[in-house]
């Protein structure tokens, strides 16, 4: 079975901001071309990022039109509640982790430490994986 990625907000910001080394940018572009899937939380965080100028925000909105945005479902809500009760994790990260766990995604993030306590969660940090 092919690895499916759920893309975290920080990866999108680094990608659009041009702050990725070429090998990581190429890998990320390949992931985005084959399966641009995000949580609704990532959409909110990304489009709400205060450092976007008006022009950048417009470009970001156009970029997000290509994404498959996974909404909150009752199962994701319940898994998020379980994670919040059992782990020291921020609500947005808990929603993203719950989405990955229930839908068998590998989380593509640079902030792997935010998710290290989540048992069973597959995390891929392209920044550490590619040196």
64-119 pLDDT, tens digit per residue, is: 999 999 999 999 999 999 999 999 899 999 999 999 999 999 999 999 999 999 99
State how far Cα 79 lies from the chain centre: 17
State how far Cα 72 lies from the chain centre: 14
Q: Are 38 and 6 in contact (CB under 8 A)?
A: yes
Q: Which residues contact 126 (CB under 8 A, 6 or more apart)?
A: 11, 24, 27, 28, 108, 110
1-10, 21-30, 33-42, 104-113: least confidently modelled range: 1-10
Give mean pLDDT, residues 16-44: 93
Q: Which domains does the chain have, with CATH numbers?
A: 5-127 (3.40.50.1010)
Please give the model's pTM, rounded to 2 decimal places: 0.92
């Amino acid at each position: 079975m092919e690895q499916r990625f759920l893309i975290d907000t920080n990866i999108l910001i680094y990608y659009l901001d041009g702050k990725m080394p070429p090998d990581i940018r190429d890998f990320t572009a390949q992931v985005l071309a084959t399966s641009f899937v995000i949580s609704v939380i990532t959409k909110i965080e990304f489009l709400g990022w205060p450092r976007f100028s008006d022009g950048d925000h417009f470009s970001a909105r156009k970029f997000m039109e290509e994404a498959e945005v996974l909404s909150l479902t009752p199962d994701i809500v319940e898994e998020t509640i379980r994670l919040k009760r059992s782990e020291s994790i921020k609500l947005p990260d808990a929603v993203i982790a719950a989405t990955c766990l229930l839908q068998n995604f590998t989380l593509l993030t640079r902030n792997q430490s935010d998710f290290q306590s989540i048992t069973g969660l597959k995390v891929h940090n392209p920044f550490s994986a590619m040196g």
